[in-house]
Amino acid sequence: MIGHAESSRKLTGRKQEEECKSGESLTSPFAERSGRTLSAQSGMYLQRTIGNRAVGQLLQANKPVIQRDLVKYDEILPPETHRRWMPLKTEIDGDNEAFGHEAKVEGAGGKWQTKVEWDAADHDDGVKMVADPLGPDHPLGSTPGAKGKWADKRKKMERNSGKMDYVAGHLLNENLGGPGNDVRNLAAIPQVANKKHSDEVEEKIKDIVNNQHGWVRYEVKTKQAQDASSRNLWYTSAFECDWYQLDPKTKGKVPGTHGHVDIDIPPPSYFKSGNDSLQNAPDKSGKGVDRWDRDHAAAWSKVARKEVVLTNTDDLSSAAAVMKPIQAVLDKMGISDTILDVPQDQLSKSLVSIMKSASVSDNEKKANEVIKTESAILKDLNTKNQLADYVIAKDLDWALENAPKERHLRLLGIFAEAQKLFELIHQAPAAANLLSDVNESLKKEHQQRQAVEETARHLLKLVIIAREERDRALQSSIGFANNERSAFGLEPLPTDQPYGKSMEQLQSTEMFNHTDFDYYENMPMTPYRQEVMEEEMRSETEYKDFKTRGKLTVHKHLRENQKKYKSSRFMKEYGPRVEKFSKMSASNYDKKIIQLLSEYQDHQNALVQLRILKFAMGDTVVQPIIDMVEAKRDSDWGKFGTACGIISDNYADNGKKYKEIYRHMHDVIKG
Q: Where are the alpha helices (DSSP H) in 166-215?
A: 191-197, 203-206
Q: What are phi and psi of 277, to 5 degrees?
A: -140, 170
Distance CA 633, CA 56 (A): 109
Distance CA 41, CA 20 (A): 8
* Percentage of the chain lying above the pLDDT 70 cut: 45
Query: How is residue 122 annotated by DSSP?
Result: B
Contact 295, 187 (CB under 8 A): no
Q: What are phi and psi of 112, to 5 degrees?
A: -115, 160
Mean predicted confidence (pLDDT) in 214-236: 90
To the nearest 10 degrees (0 to 180), the angle between helices 13-22 and 40-50 is: 120
Contact 197, 306 (CB under 8 A): no
The secondary structure of 41-89 as a DSSP string is HHHHHHHHHH-HHHHHHHH-SS-PPPP--SPBGGG---TTTTTTTGGGB
Mean predicted confidence (pLDDT) in 231-255: 91
Distance CA 169, CA 276 (A): 17
What three-state secondary structure class fits 402?
A: helix
Q: What is the pLDDT confidence band of residue 20, given thresholds at 50, 70 and 90? A: very low
pTM above 0.85, yes or no: no
Give the pLDDT confidence score for residue 18 in this predicted structure. 38
pLDDT by residue (tens digit) across 68-111? 467 766 666 665 554 556 677 878 877 889 998 888 898 888 89
Q: Which of 59-63, 209-213, 657-661 has the lowest mean pLDDT?
A: 59-63
Q: What is the pLDDT confidence band of residue 112, given thresholds at 50, 70 and 90? A: very high
Distance CA 28, CA 13 (A): 14
Q: What is the pLDDT confidence band of residue 591, given thresholds at 50, 70 and 90? A: low
Contact 171, 186 (CB under 8 A): yes
Is the confidence at residue 62, as pLDDT, over 90? Answer: no
Contact 40, 19 (CB under 8 A): yes
Give the pLDDT confidence score for residue 541 in this predicted structure. 42
Distance CA 329, CA 490 (A): 82
Is the confidence at residue 432, as pLDDT, over 60? Answer: no
Distance CA 87, CA 63 (A): 33
- On average, the pLDDT of the chain sits at 66
Q: Which of 23-37, 588-602, 629-643 has the lowest mean pLDDT?
A: 23-37
Of 65, 241, 206, the residue nearest 136 (C-alpha) = 206
Query: How is residue 105 annotated by DSSP?
Result: E
Give the pLDDT confidence score for residue 565 in this predicted structure. 44
Give the pLDDT confidence score for residue 77 in this predicted structure. 66
To the nearest 10 degrees (0 to 180), the angle between helices 655-670 and 637-651 is: 170
Mean predicted confidence (pLDDT) in 582-588: 54
pLDDT by residue (tens digit) across 184-214? 999 999 999 999 999 999 999 998 998 888 9
Spell 64-77 as b/e; 16+ CB within 10 A means b: eeeebebbbbeebe
**HEC-encoded secondary structure of 329-385:** HHHHCCCCHHHHHCCCCHHHHHHHHHHHHHCCCHHHHHHHHHHHHHHHHHHHCCCHH
Mean predicted confidence (pLDDT) in 53-78: 48
Of 351, 350, 288, the residue nearest 319 (C-alpha) = 351
Q: What is the pLDDT confidence band of residue 261, given thresholds at 50, 70 and 90? A: very high
Contact 248, 299 (CB under 8 A): yes
Give the pLDDT confidence score for residue 551 in this predicted structure. 41
Give the pLDDT confidence score for residue 537 in this predicted structure. 45
